[in-house]
Amino acid sequence: MTIGFDILAEDGAARRGRIQTAHGEIETPAFMPVGTAGTVKAMRTSEVRATGADIVLGNTYHLMLRPTAERIDRMGGLRKFMRWDGPVLTDSGGFQVMSLSELRTIKEAGVRFRSHIDGSYIDLSPERSIEIQHLLDSTITMAFDECTPFPATHEQAAQSMRLSMRWAARSRAAFVQRPGYGLFGIVQGGVYPDLRRESAEALNEIGFEGYAIGGLAVGEGQAQMFETLEETAPHLPRERPRYLMGVGKPADIVGAVRRGVDMFDCVLPTRSGRTGQAWTWDGPLNLRNARHRDDTGPLDPDCPCPVCRDYDRAYLHHLTKAEEVLGLMLLTEHNLWHYQELMRGLRQAIEERRLDAYATDLEARWNG
């Protein structure tokens, strides 16, 4: 078999599930910490695992440039290279080609771009993207796509989406099937319901182990993102996991879970930790704020993480103001714990069929 997916409970459109892979199980709804260059920044993999994370994300674009996929393959694959004992999902590199590289040229064959590291020209095609992810020994491989920019006209979004669908078919053909591994297709189409439906139907016809929803959280706003999810999710196979790429804030995750999404990733909790921001059940805290300098209380009294157990706000404020490395490490650890606690709460709420009440309580605290 490839990867498996069992739906254990449902509450409205929300699903509580479990993904079976060659490298372990993933409880869903799941949040995947982002390990762009083979590391979740400021965290050891044992600490990431302690938060409750079942899977981490690696980045094809960054790893192909440095240290190269071939080198990682010689080291035994990305999991061994970074000392992570669970599943790994790698994105296809398409988003980073759009957002980071210079002088890119998109053609039917693929993309030619200049490296943001040394300026060299690199060609990336669907076949090469799949090959790189195979060399990385990715548990879940993503089809190569073009991330449609926002805003885009209907015509621009249609052309981009249809190119991605042709690339999806080539990605499927290039993927090497192995027990416990899988390939996810990516739905595109901007904010246009007819294009999202067309994209989903094209991917269904090709057939994938899971389905991602791409091209959102790129500036369209939460309301439009939720509308697009409502137009997209019903056209995806019920028996396969659904992954909303690059999302996001806790409120975005809760809203997407209520609309049938199973998997998430975002740099926000780790990036926030490196910039002095902590996520709590009462909303984000800026640890640079002077009001924390004499506060001997924990970051969040309702958080079970080691940071909230062992350190107070005054010390974390001092570390942040002094730009000590320990400060960003501790805030990153807390933030990842917070996100995993949120996912545990969502899973339990779905099991107990009280997701609406759980979401309402969260929103009241965030807005209080």
| Active-site residue set | 91, 265
Contacts by 98-102 with C-beta closer than 8 Å and gap 24+?
98/146, 98/147, 98/149, 99/147, 100/61, 101/61
Quick check: helix, strand or coil at residue 168?
helix
Tokens of residue 117, six digits:
């590291």
Q: Whose CA is closest to 183, among 111, 134, 235?
A: 134
Question: What residues contact residue 357 under an 8 Å CB cut-off, 6+ apart?
Answer: 349
Q: Could you give the CA distance from residue 330 to residue 326 in angstroms, rounded to a whole number?
A: 6
Q: Whose CA is closest to 199, among 184, 188, 211, 185?
A: 188
Contacts by 238-243 with C-beta closer than 8 Å and gap 24+?
238/7, 239/5, 239/7, 240/5, 240/208, 240/209, 240/210, 240/211, 241/5, 241/17, 241/19, 241/28, 241/210, 241/211, 242/210, 242/211, 242/212, 242/213, 243/184, 243/210, 243/211, 243/212, 243/213
Task: Give ∠ CA 351-89-172 in degrees, rounded to 5.
Answer: 105
Going by the DSSP 8-state scheme, the letter that residue 279 receives in this structure is: E
Q: Could you give the CA distance from residue 254 to residue 356 in angstroms, rounded to a whole number?
A: 10
Residue given tokens 């590199």 in the structure block: 93
Task: Give ∠ CA 258-260-266 in degrees, rounded to 5.
Answer: 85
For residue 172, how far is the Cα from the chain centroid? Answer: 21
